[in-house]
Structure 1
Amino acid sequence: MRRRYWIALALCAVAGPAAAHHSFAMFNMDKNVTMTGTVTEFRWTNPHSWMHVDIADDSGKASDWAIEMTSPNNLVAAGWRRSSMKPGDKVTVTYHPLVNGKQGGSLVSVKLADGRVLENK
């Protein structure tokens, strides 16, 4: 019985750091921002997929925004495919911004040029 206790305790100790990896503390989860731009890169990778979007500021100058998404497995379950986006596609992204104010965030949803909306679940 004592051995099971120590095994359970060891598993809990290992699980703590793993849970910390999935923290969303870097994003302002209480705020949604929506912007329109052009996809420059779409990375279908584990453990997180990414899209890079050129978004123009008020003066018209475009800059790169890095938008983090969930894993391909979760994206497929939400209706995504590896071919859902490609460089050059015009998109409208809604995301939770980075708390440090840098150009990026965690994707909430993306509206594609054909009107389809894909969510980050």
Structure 2
Amino acid sequence: MSNPVVGVPVVGIPVADQDKAVEFYTDAFGFTVRMDMPLPQLGSRWIVLAPAGADAAATGIALVQAGDGLPAGVETGIRLAVADAAAKHAELAGRGVGVGELLRWQGAPPMFTVTDPDGNGLEIVEQ
């Protein structure tokens, strides 16, 4: 292979309201805005968030404007790592964020599902 893939810099999440999504992801997960620039040809913005303090090589999350062929409200497959899943579960539930049951399986780290305001699903996993 002469030109292999060398990384995964960004994964996208379709959202209906980019401003509302930025507010949710920064408040709920402590993400910081890495990039926010207009995309006039699409009538939206290119917004990339990353965990606070993450180095430039860390994978970011792009909050992509939902539309025809790119609906919001999907299971993203994205797993976010936290030091204490039970504490994060309690924090998010206390804020009224949609969280699933805190799962504790033999041999697996504690984890739970979380839903953003658009109904996109992510998982929180203790690391």
Report TM bin, short chain. under 0.3
Higher helix proportion (structure 1 or 2):
1
Larger Cα-atom Rg: 1
TM-score by length of 2: 0.21
